[in-house]
Chain A
Amino acid sequence: MSLDEPSLARLMAASQRGDRAAYRALLGDCRLWLARYFARRIAPHQIDDLVQETLVSMHRKLATWDSGRAFLPWLAAIARYRWIDMLRRQRDEAELGDNDAAVGAEDEAVHARLSIDRLMTLLPPGQAQAITLVKIEGASIAEASQICGQSESLVKVNIHRGLKKLAQLIESE
Chain B
Amino acid sequence: MDKVSIENLIDGLADELQPVPPKKMVRGLLWTAAGWLAGAALLLWLYGMRHDLAAGGMPALSMLSFWLIAATGVAAAWSALRMGLPGVGRDYSGWRWAVLAALSLPIAALLLAVGDGHAAMDVARHGLDAHCLSLGIASGLGVGAALFLWLKSAAPTSPTRAGWVIGLASGAAGATIVALHCADDNLIHIALWHGLAVVISAVAGRLILPRFLRW
Interface residues of A (CB under 8 A from B): 15-18, 20, 23-24, 27-28, 31, 48-49, 51-52, 55-57, 59-67, 69-70, 73-74, 76-78, 80-81, 84, 110, 113-114, 171, 173
Contact = CB atoms under 8 A, between A and B. Distances in A.
B99 to A, nearest CB: 17
Given A62-B20, A173-B88, A51 B13 contact: no
B17 interface: yes
A63 B1 CA distance: 27
Interface string B16-40: 0111111110000000000000000
B62 interface: no
A46 to B, nearest CB: 10
A49 B88 contact: no
B94 interface: no
A31 B10 contact: yes
Given A76-B88, A80-B157, A24 B6 contact: no
Contact of B19 (A17, A76, A171): A17
3 closest A-B pairs (Cβ-Cβ)? A18-B19, A77-B86, A48-B1
Interface of B: 1-2, 5-6, 9-11, 13-15, 17-24, 84-90, 154-155, 157-158, 160-161, 215
B10 A77 contact: no
A114 B21 contact: no
Q: Give the interface SS of chain A, mostly helix, strand, loop or mixed.
A: helix
Contacts of B215: 57, 60-61
Contacts of B19: 16-18
A113 B89 contact: yes
17 contacts: A16-B20, A17-B19, A18-B19, A27-B10, A27-B14, A31-B10, A48-B6, A51-B6, A52-B9, A56-B9, A63-B23, A64-B155, A73-B90, A77-B90, A77-B155, A78-B86, A110-B88
A114 B88 contact: yes
